[in-house]
Structure 1
């Protein structure tokens, strides 16, 4: 069984890696620190977010990761290769 020509185990692993990379890109979206808002809770770090909005960020991460994964599958199955792009080519000896 495969997803877009990629084995199911590999597809899950690739999606998982994409999801984690996207999560770290999404985490800073819309964060306002306690220091920025002037509402520092005693005993906490002033750089801690006031409201982290984690549920929204997890949903956004899942959607963006799914779009990236589908794009990956489309490019993989399109027949594009790095040799089609301009730039230095690898020297191959046959």
Structure 2
């Protein structure tokens, strides 16, 4: 009998320099949250949005599923659009795996 493995935690954060950028970021993150919940291998997804920060915490069945999600068109679109804003601080970190991108 094999032991069940613990889910892999994927932390993603975008800290925006201005509040004016947040409305678009909010709707993009909301759509990404919905798409992530339907992605194969997703165990749980949590979205937290403040005045200047968008945080998505997700749990995945395996590190391969989490990395595949980070390479998906939906995730890449949001990441590229938010990173295109001058002064944005972005971080993608996989806990329980080796993938870290800042």
**What range is the shorter-chain TM-score in?**
0.3 to 0.5
Normalised TM-score (structure 2): 0.31
From the CA coordinates, give the structure whose radius of gyration is larger: 1
Normalised TM-score (structure 1): 0.33
Q: Which has the higher strand share?
A: 2
Q: Which has the higher helix share?
A: 1
- Greater relative CO (CA pairs within 8 A, separation 6+): 2
